[in-house]
């Protein structure tokens, strides 16, 4: 497969974050093209044709999302770039914003033009403060050249961009929690529907996309949706950034075409497993994605369809690689502790379930686990799944029960031999009708 660099094309250039470099390498040409030659509808059509799917986690069609915004609404419309990158394992948006902030800004302007929004926000996690400052500088550079503000390039189209800091809450990466947070409230997810395209920020129609998704739009507009689509697979167009971490020789952020073999990426791009060890497992889409065994990795390609067929997901494109010495029970414990910490507390199955799972895992890892604890943990995870408003509960469950199915021995290693069978202290929970 041809390795074309679309998103990372400028990453190795000196001062790649400046507008001079951006303009020298085709920057803001797509915006000029859209504003002078294309209707907003044509922009949406081109994005639909590209088969671009959300790079934040859910993988929803970007063009479809934009087309859901009602054209005739009498309310203002908003665009939000989701730069809250907090999914464990994920650090690709950070590289993108550091190396090529103008690509994000141009993508935001194109989205705003497509849906007729005149105010856009970049919601960036507070820990990325240096990137907040970098983006603000880039917006000022763009403003000085007439790409941001009133009457952009003399077209009559106006758009302002505000960079808004989050303050340390994973849940605010969920789009409706993000909007609550942007409104100055606690980041509780909203119940959907209505979807943000109709009722979003301040109750107004809102397009919210991950920053990498938005940065993919300028090349699509410039070179065509068909060109972008053929870089990847039929249903997962283009290339994307993969953040590889864990036990590989060369961890890093790599741009690869959708559909690229995962095994080949680990071996060729990342130099294989470090220290000549064997591969044990991969978490393929950030900590929320069900774990894959080494055998599953053999048949896996990096696209939404392949991961879905393996009952996992490509998620945020974070590939966490684990060698043969990894204790999966320890890994699952850390991830479960994370979800317990980040549960917003709104839904009982998530708030109480994540805490209970963490306690069970702690007892297990202390060597005090009972034989039934593994099944209890499994059932508990199954009962959290599908019973919460937002996907955090599902994510917490997905981190646990597939790991028990695939790596049960790692959990059993901690279980004490049963001494006596005592009366049912803990009963297997029944699945409640929901």
List of residues 6+ apart from 12 with CB closer than 8 A:
none
Q: Which is nearer to other proteins, 7 or 253 (by Cβ)?
A: 253
Q: Report the residue from 330, 367, 405, 428 that binds other proteins according to the rule CB under 8 A.
A: 330
Question: Alpha-carbon distance 272 to 250, whole Å?
Answer: 8
Q: Report the residue from 70, 130, 140, 271 that binds other proteins according to the rule CB under 8 A.
A: 130
Binding residues among 178-207 for other proteins as defined by CB under 8 A:
181-187, 202
Q: Which is nearer to other proteins, 156 or 184 (by Cβ)?
A: 184
Q: Which of these ranges, 67-75, 125-133, 372-380, 404-412, lies near other proteins under the rule CB under 8 A?
A: 125-133
Q: Is 63 in the site for other proteins (CB under 8 A)?
A: no
Q: Is 108 in the site for other proteins (CB under 8 A)?
A: no
Residue 420 Cβ vs other proteins, minimum distance, rounded to whole Å:
35
Is the bond preceding 193 in cis, omega lying within 30 degrees of 0? yes
Residue 313 structure tokens: 């997901």
Q: Is the four-CA dihedral 275, 279, 284, 288 of positive or negative sign?
A: negative
| Pick from 400, 383, 413, 386: nearest CA to 337 | 400
Q: Report the residue from 6, 80, 159, 320 that binds other proteins according to the rule CB under 8 A.
A: 320
Residue 433 Cβ vs other proteins, minimum distance, rounded to whole Å:
32
Q: Report the residue from 253, 279, 282, 292 that binds other proteins according to the rule CB under 8 A.
A: 253
Question: Alpha-carbon distance 187 to 209, whole Å?
Answer: 18
Q: Which is nearer to other proteins, 27 or 187 (by Cβ)?
A: 187
Q: Which of these ranges, 28-36, 38-46, 66-74, 341-349, lies near other proteins under the rule CB under 8 A?
A: 341-349
Both ends of the chain: CA-CA distance in Å?
46
Q: Is 105 in the site for other proteins (CB under 8 A)?
A: no
Question: Alpha-carbon distance 344 to 173, whole Å?
Answer: 12
Q: Is 26 in the site for other proteins (CB under 8 A)?
A: no
Q: Is 209 in the site for other proteins (CB under 8 A)?
A: no
Quote the DSSP letter at residue 267: I
Question: Alpha-carbon distance 206 to 117, whole Å?
Answer: 8
Q: Is 331 in the site for other proteins (CB under 8 A)?
A: yes
Residues 180 and 188 sit within 8 Å (Cβ to Cβ): yes
Question: Alpha-carbon distance 6 to 2, whole Å?
Answer: 12
Q: Is 127 in the site for other proteins (CB under 8 A)?
A: yes
Q: Is 244 in the site for other proteins (CB under 8 A)?
A: yes
Q: Which of these ranges, 10-18, 59-67, 211-219, 316-324, lies near other proteins under the rule CB under 8 A?
A: 316-324
Residue 123 Cβ vs other proteins, minimum distance, rounded to whole Å:
10
Can you tell me whether residue 325 is helix, strand or coil? Answer: coil
Residues 280 and 323 sit within 8 Å (Cβ to Cβ): yes
Q: Report the residue from 175, 212, 255, 342 that binds other proteins according to the rule CB under 8 A.
A: 342
| Pick from 107, 54, 118, 62: nearest CA to 222 | 107
Q: Is 73 in the site for other proteins (CB under 8 A)?
A: no
Give residue for tokens 């971490």. Answer: 245
Residue 156 Cβ vs other proteins, minimum distance, rounded to whole Å:
21
Total Cβ atoms within 10 A of residue 288? 25
Q: Which of these ranges, 127-135, 141-149, 402-410, 415-423, lies near other proteins under the rule CB under 8 A?
A: 127-135
Residues 6-25, one symbol each (x = binds other proteins by CB under 8 A, - = not), give --------------------
Q: Report the residue from 209, 216, 233, 245 that binds other proteins according to the rule CB under 8 A.
A: 245
Residues 370-399, one symbol each (x = binds other proteins by CB under 8 A, - = not), give ------------------------------
Residues 143-182, one symbol each (x = binds other proteins by CB under 8 A, - = not), give -------------------x-xxxxxxx----------xx
Q: Which of these ranges, 190-198, 214-222, 248-256, 405-413, lies near other proteins under the rule CB under 8 A?
A: 248-256
Total Cβ atoms within 10 A of residue 432? 8
239-246 and 252-257 as β-strands: parallel, antiparallel, unpaired? antiparallel
Q: Is 252 in the site for other proteins (CB under 8 A)?
A: yes
Q: Is the four-CA dihedral 315, 317, 318, 324 of positive or negative sign?
A: positive
Residues 294 and 272 sit within 8 Å (Cβ to Cβ): no
List of residues 6+ apart from 253 with CB closer than 8 A:
8, 91, 92, 95, 241, 242, 243, 244
Question: Alpha-carbon distance 271 to 396, whole Å?
Answer: 31
Using CB under 8 A, list all residues that contact other proteins. Answer: 76, 85-91, 93-94, 119, 125-130, 162, 164-170, 181-187, 202, 243-247, 251-253, 283, 287, 318, 320, 322, 326, 330-331, 334-335, 337-338, 341-342, 344
């Amino acid at each position: 497969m041809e390795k074309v660099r679309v998103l990372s094309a400028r990453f190795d250039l000196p001062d790649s974050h400046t507008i001079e470099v951006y303009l020298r390498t085709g920057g803001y040409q797509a915006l000029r093209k859209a504003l002078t030659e294309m209707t907003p509808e044509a922009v949406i059509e081109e994005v639909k044709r590209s088969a671009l799917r959300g790079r934040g986690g859910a993988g929803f069609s970007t063009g479809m999302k934009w087309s859901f915004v009602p054209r005739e609404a009498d309310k203002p419309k908003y665009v939000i770039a989701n730069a809250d990158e907090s999914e464990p394992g994920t650090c690709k948006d950070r590289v993108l914003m550091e190396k090529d902030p103008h690509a994000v800004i141009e993508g935001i302007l194109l989205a705003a033009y497509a849906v007729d929004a005149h105010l856009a926000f970049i919601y960036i996690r507070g820990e990325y403060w240096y990137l907040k400052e970098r983006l603000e500088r880039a917006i000022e550079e763009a403003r000085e050249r007439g790409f941001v503000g009133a009457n952009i390039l003399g077209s009559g189209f106006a758009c302002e961009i505000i960079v808004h800091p989050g303050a340390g809450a994973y849940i605010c990466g969920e789009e409706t929690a993000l909007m609550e947070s942007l409104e100055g409230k606690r980041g509780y997810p909203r119940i959907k529907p209505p979807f943000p395209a109709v009722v979003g920020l301040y109750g107004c129609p809102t397009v919210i996309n991950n920053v990498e998704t938005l940065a993919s739009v300028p090349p699509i507009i410039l070179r065509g949706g068909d060109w972008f689509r053929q870089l990847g697979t039929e249903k997962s167009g283009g290339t994307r950034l993969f953040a590889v971490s864990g036990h590989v020789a060369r961890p890093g952020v790599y741009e690869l075409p959708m559909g690229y073999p995962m095994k080949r990426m680990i071996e060729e791009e990342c130099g294989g497993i470090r220290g000549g060890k064997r591969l044990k497992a991969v978490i393929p889409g950030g900590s929320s994605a069900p774990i894959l065994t080494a055998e599953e990795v053999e048949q896996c390609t990096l696209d939404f369809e392949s991961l879905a067929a393996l009952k996992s997901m490509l998620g945020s494109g974070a590939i966490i690689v684990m060698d043969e010495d990894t204790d999966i029970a320890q890994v699952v414990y850390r991830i479960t502790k994370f979800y317990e910490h980040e549960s917003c507390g709104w839904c009982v199955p998530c708030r109480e379930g994540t805490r209970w799972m963490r306690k069970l895992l702690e007892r297990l890892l202390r060597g005090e686990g009972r034989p039934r604890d593994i099944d209890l943990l499994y059932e508990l995870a199954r009962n959290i799944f599908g019973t919460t408003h937002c996907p955090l509960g599902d994510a917490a469950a997905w981190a646990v029960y597939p790991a028990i199915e695939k790596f049960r021995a790692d959990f059993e290693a901690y279980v004490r031999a049963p001494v006596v069978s005592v009366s049912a202290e803990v009963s297997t929970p029944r699945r409640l009708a929901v």
